[in-house]
Amino acid sequence: MALIAQSSIQAVIDACDMIEVVAPYSTLKKSGANYMGRCPFHGEKTPSFSVDPGQKLYYCFGCGEGGNVFTFIEKKEGLDFADAVKMLADKYGVRLQYEASSPEQENRRQERERLLALLDQAATYYSRCLLESSQAAPARQYLGNRGFKEPVIREFRLGFSPAGGSALLKAATGKGFTETELSRAGLIIQRDASSRDRFRGRLMFPFTDHRGRVLGFGARVLDDSKPKYLNSPDSELYHKTNLVFGLGNARTMITKEDRVFIVEGYTDVLALHQAGIVNAVASMGTALTEQQLKEISRFTRNVYLAFDADAAGQAAMLRALELAKKHNLAVRVVKMPPGQDPAELVLSEDGLRSFNELGSAAPTLLEYQVQTTLSSSGIDSSQGRVRAFASLKNVLDGAASSMERDEQLRIIADRLRLSPENVAYLMKSAPSNDDNEDGGTRRRVLTHEEIAERSFLSLCLANPGEARRYLQLMTEAHFTNEQTRAAFIWVREKLDEKNSGSGNNEQRLVMDRNAREILPELLIRSRTGSTPPEALTEYYFRLCEAELSRRISVIKATVSEGKDTGSELRELYRLETRRRDIIRLIQSGSCETV
């Protein structure tokens, strides 16, 4: 695929309004030169998400997420870099220019675009058939009997595939598409020398990605034919295990409400949307996959599972719960009334109120597991209490927080009439993934050296005049990982360019992947003034002392292996002397001499 020209990328950055881009995901308020709001990447009560509108950067002081305008769109919209640039270019009217690409790359790009266009036109064709064709009368009657109205039918682009063997084939080839393209899109079946429509006489459900692009179809029969549902075959565009039905329709409300209802079937999604519960999606069947959860987690970490109350639905619920726990999602279980699915409930009289009440009362994953274990173990008997006790130890081990575990422990102790000794045994269960006080997941703990390196670089950006002399005396060896080394080079060059009056170098935020991981944090911290400017010199000396210590350790290892040639000991003495001098300067509090 042709690469977007760097000049176009810079033009998009210049055109973007960062506050406007972030606004749909977080309410921002001005705070000094920046804006603050609640982080759209993790749940929190106290705003710790900072946006720098001038630099087009964001950083969360709670969870550590940070980046520029492109990385924000990539993460919130689930796009790759090129698609994020295209989305913002469309939004702000920037015409993109592309670098020269090979004929093969250009062909692949054009082929993919034609397949997407073909699938979109197929959805339009099926939709028109449903709404206008006399053949589709049974499909319209089926939808009407289920309680579905035209607005939701149009919203989800439901359709009908004519019963004849080549209706879509003729319509598509008449518009210039080839049989090869129709086959690659999964719309026809080619056998021997003949071709025919894959879907015939069925109610059609378009499968879209989170951007609303049609990638495939699910098709339901309207009689007793088998199979009841027929899906598009896996292709270069469509992979059933990756898609979440309705995500393109629901993602805006999912982000706004910061929660999602996951149901089993397509009609469950339609019914909930029609009733006004727009943040609902389906798992494309009973088997919720790990890939689907990853897709959903881009928009929220608060998941409400509303599977059917039958045996298959409950088994699927348990599998989904384990996957959600693996990805550290905050899960609640909407317990459906026996014999009802979400569609039947919400379309019944007073069903919306009932569903909302079930959602409000939905237990957490731990509560649900405790309730299920207690209710299924027969705790009225001593043997049942023993079984429950053995199972609940493992349940408590998976608690998301110590507070929630302790609350459930009190319930367990009361229901099982436990002795103090047994309560003490269960209390040894330790949460495996404790949340922070604002509901976000714990961040990787930085080493003391990493903290010092990041603090030094942010102070350099805040105090460029004094920082330049230190930066010129340093090398990448003063930094301990790829991110801070790349950021050091970026900061040094940025300050050199600023000093020489050369142009804007925001492009390097896009170009350098390693630096981009921490630059938003450094740039935003440099404007908060949280560290006094006089600390710059001390941090410089601390980095010098740490770098000397690493070199000393290497030489000592060489000497201990008997590889000393005499020069190593002399170098070791020189480094140790220099290190002691630096330590004395730091301890004296008068770090004035470089």
**Rounded Cα–Cα distance for residues 20 and 209 (Å):** 24
Pick the CATH number of 6-92 from 3.90.1300.10, 3.90.580.10, 3.40.50.2300, 3.50.50.60: 3.90.580.10
Q: Are 62 and 72 in contact (CB under 8 A)?
A: no
Weakest mean pLDDT among 32-36, 56-60, 386-390: 386-390
- 427 — pLDDT class (breaks 50, 70, 90): low
Amino acid at 183: S
- 148 — pLDDT class (breaks 50, 70, 90): very high
**Rounded Cα–Cα distance for residues 35 and 60 (Å):** 11
Count of alpha carbons within 13 angstroms of residue 344, beta-carbon side: 10
SS3 217: strand
CA 357 to chain centre: 28
Tell me the torsion sign for CA atoms 550, 551, 556, 558: positive
Arithmetic mean of pLDDT, 131-151: 95
Residue 593 predicted with pLDDT over 70: no
Residue 242 predicted with pLDDT over 50: yes
pTM above threshold 0.95: no
Amino acid at 499: N
Residue 569 predicted with pLDDT over 50: yes
pLDDT of residue 507: 46
Backbone angles phi, psi at 280, to 5 degrees: -125, 140
pLDDT of residue 594: 45
Amino acid at 147: G
**Rounded Cα–Cα distance for residues 102 and 500 (Å):** 38
**Rounded Cα–Cα distance for residues 142 and 134 (Å):** 14
SS3 of 451-472: the string is: HHHHHHHHHHHHCHHHHHHHHH
Arithmetic mean of pLDDT, 73-96: 86
Arithmetic mean of pLDDT, 259-284: 93
**Rounded Cα–Cα distance for residues 472 and 539 (Å):** 15
Q: Is the bond preceding 227 in cis, omega lying within 30 degrees of 0?
A: yes
- Helix pair angle (365-376, 402-416), 10° resolution: 20
pLDDT of residue 529: 63
Residue 375 predicted with pLDDT over 70: yes
Buried b (16+ CB within 10 A) or exposed e, 351-372: bbeebeebeeebbbbbbbbbbb
Weakest mean pLDDT among 71-85, 142-156, 413-427: 413-427
pLDDT of residue 531: 66
Q: Are 159 and 216 in contact (CB under 8 A)?
A: no
Tell me which of 474 and 81 has the higher pLDDT.
474
pLDDT of residue 437: 45
pLDDT of residue 189: 94
Tokens representing residue 190 in the block: 């080619």
Fold that domain 247-362 belongs to in CATH: Dna Topoisomerase Vi A Subunit; Chain: A, domain 2 (3.40.1360)
Residue 324 predicted with pLDDT over 70: yes
**Rounded Cα–Cα distance for residues 250 and 274 (Å):** 12
**Rounded Cα–Cα distance for residues 288 and 305 (Å):** 10
The winner for highest mean pLDDT among 314-328, 420-434, 526-540 is 526-540
Q: Are 281 and 244 in contact (CB under 8 A)?
A: yes
Who's near 507: CB < 8 A, 6+ residues apart? 6, 9, 10, 13
Residue 415 predicted with pLDDT over 90: no
Q: How far is CA 32 from CA 187, 492, 526, 528, in A?
A: 56, 26, 13, 8
**Rounded Cα–Cα distance for residues 33 and 51 (Å):** 9
Fold that domain 448-588 belongs to in CATH: DNAb Helicase; Chain A (1.10.860)
**Rounded Cα–Cα distance for residues 522 and 518 (Å):** 6
Q: Return the CATH architecture of domain 107-238.
A: Alpha-Beta Complex (3.90)
Residue 422 predicted with pLDDT over 80: no
What single-letter DSSP state applies at residue 333?
E
Tokens representing residue 199 in the block: 């879907």
Residue 497 predicted with pLDDT over 90: no
Amino acid at 391: S
Arithmetic mean of pLDDT, 101-121: 87
Percent of the chain with pLDDT over 90: 39
**Rounded Cα–Cα distance for residues 21 and 16 (Å):** 8
Backbone angles phi, psi at 360, to 5 degrees: -65, -35
| Mean pLDDT estimate for the chain | 84
Weakest mean pLDDT among 9-23, 84-98, 283-297, 544-558: 283-297
4 pairs with which residues across the strands? 98
What are the pLDDT digits (tens) for 8-53? 999 999 999 999 999 988 889 998 888 999 988 877 778 889 999 9
Sole residue written with tokens 């980095």: 543
Amino acid at 154: R
Residue 511 predicted with pLDDT over 70: no
- 55 — pLDDT class (breaks 50, 70, 90): confident
**Rounded Cα–Cα distance for residues 207 and 157 (Å):** 10
Residue ranges of domains in the chain = 6-92, 107-238, 247-362, 367-427, 448-588
